[in-house]
Chains A and B, each alone.
Chain A
Amino acid sequence: MALEVRGWEDVEQLYRANRADLVRLAGLLLDEPGAREEVVQDAFVALHLRRGTVAPDKVPAYLRSAVLNAARSRLRHRRVVSRLGWIVPSPPATPEDEALMGDRRATVLAAVRRLPRRQQEVVVLRYWLDLTEADIASTLGISAGSVKVHASRGLAAVARTLGDDQ
């Protein structure tokens, strides 16, 4: 979705074409259904306000990064307020969702939920969006080496959980 953003019309076009994936990304990191659309819209608003400073080929990474930052910010706020800790990804919302997910999937997601924040983000970007290490590094603003470390540790932690569970 590399596009030059010259005006609001371009932003609206990008929004219509890409919001679904970004809402799902927000949904994997936030358990506030009402907040998903908001963080996605804020990402597009931020893109518009910074138009001309984001290179066309960097737009996808910019939007993902904006969504992740907004999600992180909301979770941080909630943690401060409720002292409940990170709760990501969101649990199944309905019994129908739970039925669709199955026990094994629920166990995997619970393991991901217990990962440190940065490892969760790397795992979601790697195994849901299928991003390369370079793209993940660009999105998160960290080095490719750090991506490898976070992915490795996250994977190991999930494997341990599944091993314990089996």
Chain B
Amino acid sequence: MSGVERDLRDALGARASVIPVGRADESGLSRRLATARRRRRSRVGGAALALLLVLGAVTVVAGADDQGPNVVAGPDPSSTTSVAEPSTTATTTTDTTGPEAPAPSLSPPAPTTAAPPASAAPAATGTTVPRTTSTTAPPAPVPDDAVWPPPGSATTFTTPSQATTDFARRFLGMTKSQVGTARVDGSNANVDLRAIGESGSPVGVVSVVSLRRVEGRGWVVLGSAAPSIVVDQPTTGATVSSPLTVRGRTQAFEGTVDVEVRRDGALTPIGRSFGTGGGAEVLPFEATVTFARPSTPRGTVVVSEPRADFGDRGPLTATVLRIAF
């Protein structure tokens, strides 16, 4: 080794040794992953939009949409299910799915019970005990203003917490979530829902899921409201068309919220965008979502705060409202 090489080795080694390394920052690493994913989603969304514009084939897209693989439920009068209903209390129930919890399935949700929901009312007012129900009778139709279960579904829920758990897992994709207090007032209920972090502790703010009990059907989800995401436009039940401007106020992580438009019967959005509001304080956001008109008459707007940690575990919190096309 020459003298110059020794000098280089010595100088670079000395310089490297005084570079402050600091401590590992796993949370920062997770945040950068979330940011990278959001950017990638935006790029994919932009590319998809550009493709749509180039093709100019809105009708073709609508046709493809109808034939997509994401139909989550359909009438299945032949389904006869016999399952044990978990023991729950009227006011509080906790459901924590572990790391092994499967990703949200795009296949029809497994009916938790197919019992005639008319007998489900006591679940909201008293402690239920484990029981097994079995029936072949199809339940009453899902009302038009319900977000979950989807229209035509044979799935019924005998308690608000049960419906909230299924809504969180399947509709929102929150594979790690905790269902908290259920406040029941006659045929209406509000249930707290919170995401679970890597440590097993709740993270983020509580979303409040609103539900209604329907005669012959059981509990259905009407929507959810996250205190950190207030949607001013569109309003629940509004008839919308593309391009849809979604406005509101948010205090989400890094101020970013994901905005999706979904049609009934599909978990994959027909349009997607994102808005930027406030991270440290509540600030207005606005996002424009472009989509091909679906064949279904109704759908949902989902405005959510993405999780900063790794995993396709759904959003941290979400505001979901019903719309018509």
Which residues of chain A have a CB within 8 Å of any CB of chain B? 7-8, 11-12, 15-16, 19-20, 23-24, 27-28, 33, 36-38, 41-42, 44-46, 48-49, 89-90, 92-93, 96-97, 100-102, 104-106, 108-109, 112, 123-124, 127-128, 155, 158-159, 162
Contacts and interface: CB of A to CB of B under 8 A. Distances in A.
B54 interface: no
Contacts, number: 108
B137 to A, nearest CB: 44
Interface of B: 2, 4-5, 7-22, 24-26, 28-29, 32-33, 36, 40, 310-311
Given A49-B36, A127-B5, A108 B11 contact: yes
A23 B15 contact: no
B8 A44 contact: no
18 contacts: A15-B26, A15-B29, A24-B16, A27-B15, A28-B16, A28-B19, A92-B15, A100-B17, A100-B18, A101-B11, A101-B18, A104-B11, A105-B11, A108-B10, A109-B11, A123-B8, A123-B12, A127-B12
B7 A162 contact: yes
A140 to B, nearest CB: 17
A68 to B, nearest CB: 15
A8 B310 contact: yes
A89 B17 CA distance: 13
B19 A24 contact: yes
Given A37-B28, A104-B7, A20 B21 contact: yes
B18 A41 contact: no
A124 B4 CA distance: 14
A27 B14 CA distance: 12
Contact of A162 (B4, B19, B40): B4
Contact of B12 (A36, A124, A155): A124
B29 A12 contact: yes
Contacts of B14: 100-102, 105
Given A38-B32, A41-B25, A128-B13, A23 B8 contact: no
Contacts of A162: 4, 7
Given A49-B40, A105-B15, 14 more contacts: A23-B19, A28-B12, A41-B28, A45-B32, A45-B33, A92-B15, A93-B20, A97-B18, A105-B7, A105-B11, A109-B12, A127-B8, A128-B13, A158-B8
B145 to A, nearest CB: 39
Contacts of B20: 33, 93
A20 B9 CA distance: 19
Contacts of A45: 29, 32-33, 36
